[in-house]
Structures are given as C-alpha cells and as structure tokens.
A = this chain, B = another copy of it.
C-alpha cells in the first residue's frame, strides 16, 4: 500500500515537472540571455572585438572566394585564415606583439628551413631524413629550452613557438617536395596578408589600447584606495557624517588591487608594442607604472590590516577612540583626498594639483596631532593599556598608509618627468580643501629630515605629462 502511495507521489511529481518544463526552460533561457546581455553591456568593447574578428575572417576569406586571388595563393590561403584567428587579440598591443612575432619568426625559420633542406640534400638521398631529423630535433629542443627564460617568455614566447613550427614544417616537407621555395613564399606571404588585415582592423576599427587600459587601471586602483579609506572612516567611526550602510561596500574595494599584479604586468608588456596613440608617445615610460602600481599594492596590504580592525570584535573603548578620533579621521580623509587628486591628475593627464601636497601635508600634521592625543590619553588603569591595543594598531596602520600616499605621490611626480616650479599660490584655488584642515603645526621637521626628501610646501606645483 505504502509502495503504491510512493509510486503515485513519484508519478505526480514527474507529471508536474513535465508540465513545468516549458516554463522552466523559458525562464532558464531568459536568465542566460540576460546574463550574456549584461556581460556585453559591462564592457561593450567585448562585443566590438568579436565583430572585428568576424570582419577580419570575412575579409581574409576573399583569398578563397575571389578567383584571381585563389589562383595566386591556392590552398596556402588557409594560412591567412589561421593567422587571423590566432593573431586577433583584444588589445592593439596584443595583436601587434603576436603579428610581429609570427611574421619575423616565420621569415627567419623559413629561411633556415630552406637552408637545412639544401644542406640535407648535399648529404645524399639516404642520409637526408637523418640529417633533417637531427636538425629538427636539435633546433626544436634548443628553442623549446629558450622559451623557459623569463625575458624570452615575456616578449617572444609566441615567436619561439612559431619558429619551431615553421622550421619543422619547411624542413620536413622539404623531403617530399621540390617546390620548397614556392611553399615557403606562399606561407610567408599569406601570413603577412592575414597579419596585416588583423593589425589594420585592430588599430583603425575601435582600437583597444593596452597602454590606455594600464593607465586607467593604475588611476582606478588609486581611487579604490581612496574609496576604501572613505569607507573605513564611516565604518570605524560611526559618528562620522557618512552612514555605515553607504560605506559598507566601499571599504573592501582595495581587495581587487591585491590581485591585479598579473593584469598590470600583461598590459605593461603589451603596451610596449604599441605605437604612439592619443595622449601617449611611442616611448611612453610604461615600465614606470610598475613602480606606482607596486606602491599602491603595498599600501593596499596595510588596508588589509585596517580591514581586520574593522571586522574585529575587539574594538578599543569609546572614550579612547573619541580622543584619537579627530586626528585619525583627518589623516584618513586628507590621505583619501590626496589619493583622489593624484588619480585625477593621472586620469586627466592634467596639471599635478598643488592640493596633493597640501593634503599630504595636512595628513602629516594630523600624525603629529595624533601623537599629542596619545600623550593626553594616558591610560588610567592597567587594564586600559590592553584594551586600547586595537585602537593603537589602527592608528599606526593609518600612519603607514599616509607614508605610502606620499611615496605614491612622488612616484607619480617621477613619472611626469618634467617638474616645473610655479609661483606660490598658483593653482591653489583648484584645491578643494575640506573644512577640517589642520592649521596647527607641531614640531615641524626641516625638509631634509623628511623620510622621503620631499618638499611638502605649497610653493611647488608640477605638471604631469603621462
């Protein structure tokens, strides 16, 4: 009886599922389509790139469709198709790097391959495959080994791969055909046609420049630091103007920076292949971005500690917090403003705002105020010292962060290269000073004592030509 009931329930379930199937399928498909649409909208350049690849493929197919072209190149036309598929990369730098690697590697390996075939023929018909085999084995192994060297891996990995490929193909097929020069010529010319189509489409149809992406990435990472700092202020000092909800999401924005190193490396490598474009010269110092990005990441590491302070249950007592509240929140606000100004000057490639230095100076003054506040908040009982540890950790982390902001500002100045001294007060109206600017200066150190040998005075403004 129970079995019957079970069977009936199962049958009902099955029928229900069968009935729901069309609507479930429709829901699933709609959801999937929406996901794909959102993915495309997030970065419409992805859709454009896909269409560009389609266009290049159609163009290169003409080698087959148009009779006179097919008569000249024959089935070798397929190498042009292979080249288009393989060389079409998202960024101009990627396409150029692959295209040039492929073209030069094919040229050199093709010439060497023809030479190898002639050498092998001199040794007689029986020895020919042995000589060819030894040559292919030794060159293949040697070039494969060279691909492990970081320098070659970084810039010429694809070239080395194509070198082995072309040399082996020309040398081995040379054993069976006498038209080896024709094959080598056709392969080279079709690869050049495919590569040229790709590079032209990549540069002239909605180009995606790796250099510009790197530039924006570095600036955005600095903004992420600023947002996290702002978020932290709202989280750690609930008395702040911003509510906890507003800042909750931004406080962990820095997390993305900790894992962006690979992207930066790739973009900087590709950017070096790109010609001058937009606001960037051909010899733009892309490697200098490494330094800035490295400092930003080092700074983000200290944010991890700050985040641990936010998440920790063990917070310092409220009366202690209230004593260090002002200098700490000024430190974080001014450092955040400085970061925003640095990011803005990178992004817009405009003048290096004098207010960067002003904000850094204000946050450094706040450090002195913090020291004073700590002197005054002398613990009354022995238990207090233990309780204030989280607060002290937070404060000392903020000091580290301010120092890093200064270092980042210096690295950006260095990138700019041209530092023009401008009269005091010039540009000062651009600085959006917050109402809490510290004007009291305690025990100001002479410029030479300053850890980073930077003159923090407002009498300097610099020009960023990044």
Contact partner of A53 (CB less than 8 A), chosen from B54, B57, B140, B393, is B140
Chain A at the B interface: mostly helix, strand, loop or mixed? helix
| B382 A53 Cβ-Cβ under 8 A | no
Indicate if the CB atoms of B301 and A75 lie closer than 8 Å: no
C-alpha spacing A137/B389, complex, angstroms:
64
A175 to B396, CA, bound (A): 72
In whole angstroms, what is the CA distance A172 to B86 when docked? 17
Which residue of chain B has the shortest Cβ distance to A375 in the bound complex?
B382
List B contacts of A176 (CB < 8 A). 64, 70, 75
- Encode contact with B along A67-97: 1 for CB under 8 Å, 0 otherwise: 0001000010110011001101000000000
Residues of B within 8 A of A374 (CB): 385-386, 389
Query: In chain A, residues 214-247, which have Cβ atoms closer than 8 Å to a Cβ of chain B?
Result: none
Query: How many A residues face the partner with a CB closer than 8 A?
Result: 74
Tell whether, in the assembled complex, residue B138 and residue A175 are in contact, meaning their CB atoms are under 8 Å apart: no
A53-B141, A137-B54, A302-B305 in contact; A82/B378 too (CB < 8 A)?
A: no
Within 8 A of B (CB), among A384-419: 385-386, 389-390, 392-393, 395-397, 400
- From B65, B138, B383, B390, A375 is in contact (CB under 8 Å) with B383
Cα separation A262 to B54 with both chains bound (whole Å): 31
Q: Is the pair B386, A64 in contact by a Cβ cutoff of 8 Å? A: no
Q: Of A42-50, A353-361, A424-432, which binds chain B?
A: A42-50
What does the 1/0 interface line of A32-51 toward B look like (CB < 8 Å)?
A: 00000001100000110111
If A148-B39, A386-B371 touch, whether A172 touches B61 (CB-CB below 8 Å) is yes
Are B400's CB and A165's CB within 8 A? Answer: no
- Residues from chain B with Cβ under 8 Å of A88 in the complex: 144
Q: Is A54 touching B385 in the complex (CB atoms < 8 A)?
A: no
A-B residue pairs in contact (CB < 8 Å), sample of 24: A39-B148, A39-B149, A53-B141, A54-B136, A61-B129, A61-B132, A61-B172, A65-B129, A65-B132, A65-B175, A75-B173, A81-B168, A81-B172, A86-B161, A88-B144, A261-B262, A308-B400, A374-B385, A375-B385, A376-B382, A378-B379, A379-B379, A390-B396, A392-B393
